[in-house]
C-alpha cells in the first residue's frame, strides 16, 4: 500500500478520499463556490487528528492463522473454526490459498469518546477526525499485518464487502477471541463496539504460488460502482 509514502502520508491520502476530496481537486475553494472543500485546510485538520490519535495510543491488534479448504459447494471453509465463507467473491480472491489469517484491530473506546466530544464542539473538525480515525486504523493494521504473515498473500477482505454477509464477523470474532484479546464486542448483526474496529481476512498461499490475487481495483467486484474510484482514488481495502 503506497510503499513509497510515510505512515502519515498514507493516512492523509486515505482520509481525503473518505471525505470525498479527490487528488485531482484544486487546493483552494473557488471564490464563487463555498461548497468546494479547501484541500489544504482539510489536510491540516487531518494532521491535527493524527497527532490526537497518536496521543491516545489506543491501537490494539490480534490475529490468528488457520488452515483452509473447500466445502461440498466449493466455498472456502476454515476447518478448525468450523466456518464456511459463503461468498462467490472469495472463490476468486482466495484462489490458490490453503490458509487464512483472521486479523482484527481497534482504536478502543478512546477514539469513540474523542470523536463524540470533538463533534459536539466543532462538527466540521469532528467529521474530519472521524474520517481520519478510519484511515488511521486501516493504515496501522496494514503495518501490523507484517508481524503475522509473510509470503504469498491476498489483500485484506472484510465481511460486509462484496457478497460476504456482515454477520460472518460473529464467528470470525469468536475464532480469534477479540473480546478477551482487544476488548471488542461483536453484535449479533456483525457490527463492532467500539465503533473504530476493523476485522479482515487474508488468504495465504504456499511459497512459489503465483495465482494469489494482489490488491487491485481491476479485480474488485465493485469496480464499476465504486464512488472512491470515480473520484480518482483507491480504497485500499
Using 50, 70 and 90 to split pLDDT, how confident is the model at 209?
confident
pLDDT at 106: 97
Cα 149 from Cα 178, distance rounded (Å): 18
Using 50, 70 and 90 to split pLDDT, how confident is the model at 144?
very high
**What is the separation of C-alpha 127 from the centre of its chain, rounded to a whole number of angstroms?**
18
Cα 47 from Cα 40, distance rounded (Å): 11
Between residues 27 and 219, which one has the greater pLDDT? 219
DSSP state of 147: G
Cα 66 from Cα 204, distance rounded (Å): 10
E strands, 107-204, in order: 153-157, 185-186, 192-193, 197-204
Q: Which residue has the cell 503465483?
A: 210
Q: Is 133 exposed, middle or buried (0-12, 13-18, 19+ CB in 10 A)?
A: buried
Using 50, 70 and 90 to split pLDDT, how confident is the model at 119?
very high
pLDDT at 51: 97
234, pLDDT greater than 80: no
Buried (b) or exposed (e) across 96-113, using 16+ Cβ within 10 A? ebebbbbbbbbbbebbbe
Average the pLDDT over each of 79-93, 105-119, 136-150, 215-229 and give the range with the smallest value: 215-229
Task: Bin 39: left if φ > 0, else alpha if -120 < ψ < 50, else beta.
Answer: alpha
187, pLDDT greater than 70: yes
CA angle 160–64–178, rounded 5-degree value: 65
Using 50, 70 and 90 to split pLDDT, how confident is the model at 141?
very high
Using 50, 70 and 90 to split pLDDT, how confident is the model at 146?
confident
Could you report the per-residue pLDDT of 27-46, keeping only the tens digit for each?
444 444 555 568 899 999 99
77, pLDDT greater than 80: yes
pLDDT at 210: 62
pLDDT at 13: 93
Cα 105 from Cα 53, distance rounded (Å): 14
Domain annotation for the chain: domains and CATH numbers: 7-214 (3.40.109.40)
Cα 229 from Cα 190, distance rounded (Å): 26
pLDDT at 32: 46
**What is the separation of C-alpha 157 from the centre of its chain, rounded to a whole number of angstroms?**
8
Could you report the per-residue pLDDT of 3-12, keeping only the tens digit for each?
578 999 999 9
194, pLDDT greater than 80: yes
pLDDT at 27: 42
Amino acid at each position: 500500500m503506497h510503499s513509497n509514502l510515510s505512515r502519515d502520508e498514507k493516512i492523509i491520502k486515505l482520509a481525503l478520499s473518505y471525505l470525498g476530496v479527490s487528488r485531482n481537486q484544486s487546493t483552494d475553494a473557488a471564490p464563487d463556490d463555498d461548497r468546494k472543500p479547501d484541500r489544504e485546510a482539510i489536510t491540516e485538520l487531518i494532521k491535527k487528528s493524527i497527532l490526537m490519535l497518536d496521543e491516545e495510543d489506543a491501537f490494539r491488534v490480534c490475529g490468528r492463522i488457520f488452515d483452509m479448504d473447500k466445502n461440498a459447494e466449493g466455498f472456502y471453509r476454515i476447518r478448525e473454526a468450523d466456518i464456511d465463507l459463503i461468498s462467490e467473491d472469495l472463490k476468486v480472491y482466495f484462489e490458490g490459498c490453503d490458509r487464512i489469517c483472521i486479523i482484527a484491530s481497534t482504536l478502543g473506546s478512546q477514539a469513540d469518546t474523542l470523536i463524540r466530544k470533538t463533534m459536539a464542539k466543532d462538527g466540521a473538525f469532528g467529521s474530519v477526525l472521524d474520517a481520519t480515525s478510519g484511515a488511521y486504523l486501516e493504515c496501522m493494521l496494514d503495518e501490523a499485518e507484517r508481524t503475522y504473515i509473510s509470503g504469498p498473500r491476498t489483500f485484506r477482505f472484510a465481511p460486509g464487502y462484496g457478497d460476504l454477509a456482515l454477520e460472518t464477523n460473529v464467528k470470525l470474532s469468536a475464532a480469534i477471541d477479540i473480546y478477551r484479546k482487544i476488548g471488542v464486542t461483536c453484535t449479533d448483526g456483525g457490527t463492532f463496539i467500539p465503533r473504530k474496529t476493523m476485522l479482515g481476512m487474508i488468504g495465504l498461499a504456499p511459497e512459489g504460488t503465483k495465482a494469489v490475487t494482489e490488491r487491485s481495483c481491476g479485480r474488485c467486484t465493485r469496480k464499476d460502482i465504486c464512488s472512491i474510484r470515480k473520484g480518482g482514488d483507491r480504497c485500499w481495502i
